[in-house]
């Protein structure tokens, strides 16, 4: 195995470690939302510093590989993909931190009916599953699995699209819970962005393995490649 191959393996392992950390952040955010566990929310907020540190290290490692080995072809595509995926992961970590901050600002547990009618927990689970699937696709270089997130994201888009109407109807009947309802709406908006970040990572994975650029193409065009 060449020195470059060794460095690429290390880079992949570090990316998986970063990915696993961000997935854990999202999962803990969901748990803190369900149980109003403020200590868990604080843990998510504090751990964001570790996510940021990992992002900086991955960036430096990619830069060092460019400088020392001038990779080409699939090796070059891999390092470029990791650079962009790393940025997407850091942004997803920011989203998890933002949701945790919402939990800290709420005094009482969220109304279960509010969580049910907005489908925010269903949305959270879908976002977590998308992140896990793309991580698995990255680990096993499985572009078919990566492509599945394009369809899975439709659920997130659907819930997000209906959120304004559902929240407005809820507030009319539950004026005492306006603040909590607005927090849930903000969480839905953030989860929709998790879907966008995950799709971006899937596109980078496909680019790395198949040398296909999927950005700015419609969902139907992407799914035809499956």
Q: Are 63 and 1 in contact (CB under 8 A)?
A: no
Angle of CA points 146, 152, 153, to nearest 5°: 100
Model confidence at 198: pLDDT above 90: yes
Give the pLDDT confidence score for residue 189 in this predicted structure: 98
Q: Are 203 and 85 in contact (CB under 8 A)?
A: no
- pLDDT tens for 151-179 read 999 999 999 999 999 999 999 999 999 99
Domain ranges of the chain: 3-224
Q: Quote the mean pLDDT of the chain.
A: 94
Compute the chain's Rg from CA coordinates: 19
Give the pLDDT confidence score for residue 217 in this predicted structure: 58
Q: Per-residue pLDDT averaged across 136-156, rounded?
A: 96
| Burial label, 86 (beta-carbon count in 10 A; 0-12, 13-18, 19+) | buried
DSSP 161-200: HHHHHHHHHHHHH-GGGHHHHHHHHHHHHHHHHHHHHHHH
Q: Per-residue pLDDT averaged across 24-43, rounded?
A: 96
Residues with Cβ within 8 Å of residue 73, at least 6 apart in sequence: none
Query: CB neighbours (10 Å) of residue 126?
Result: 21
- pLDDT tens for 69-101 read 999 999 999 999 999 999 999 999 999 999 999
Dist. CA 137–CA 85, nearest whole Å: 13
Give the pLDDT confidence score for residue 212 in this predicted structure: 77
Domain 3-224 has CATH 1.20.58.220: yes
């Amino acid at each position: 195995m060449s020195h470059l191959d060794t460095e690429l393996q290390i880079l992949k392992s570090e990316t998986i470690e970063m990915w696993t950390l961000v997935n854990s952040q999202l999962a803990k955010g969901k748990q803190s939302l369900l149980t109003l566990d403020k200590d868990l929310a604080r843990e998510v907020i504090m751990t964001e510093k570790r996510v940021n540190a990992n992002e900086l290290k991955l960036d430096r490692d990619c830069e060092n590989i460019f400088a020392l080995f001038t990779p080409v072809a699939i090796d070059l595509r891999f390092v470029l993909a990791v650079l962009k995926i790393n940025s997407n992961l850091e942004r997803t970590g920011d989203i998890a931190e933002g949701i945790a901050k919402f939990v800290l600002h709420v005094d009482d547990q969220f109304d279960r009916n509010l969580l049910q009618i907005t489908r925010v927990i269903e949305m959270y689970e879908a976002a977590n599953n998308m992140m896990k699937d793309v991580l698995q696709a990255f680990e096993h270089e499985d572009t078919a699995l990566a492509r599945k997130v394009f369809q899975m994201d439709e659920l997130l888009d659907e819930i997000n699209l209906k959120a304004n109407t559902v929240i407005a109807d809820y507030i009319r009947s539950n004026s005492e819970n306006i603040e909590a309802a607005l927090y849930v709406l903000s969480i839905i908006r953030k989860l929709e962005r998790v879907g966008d970040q995950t799709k971006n990572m899937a596109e980078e994975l496909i680019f790395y393995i198949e040398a296909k650029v999927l950005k700015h193409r419609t969902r139907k065009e992407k799914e035809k490649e499956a």
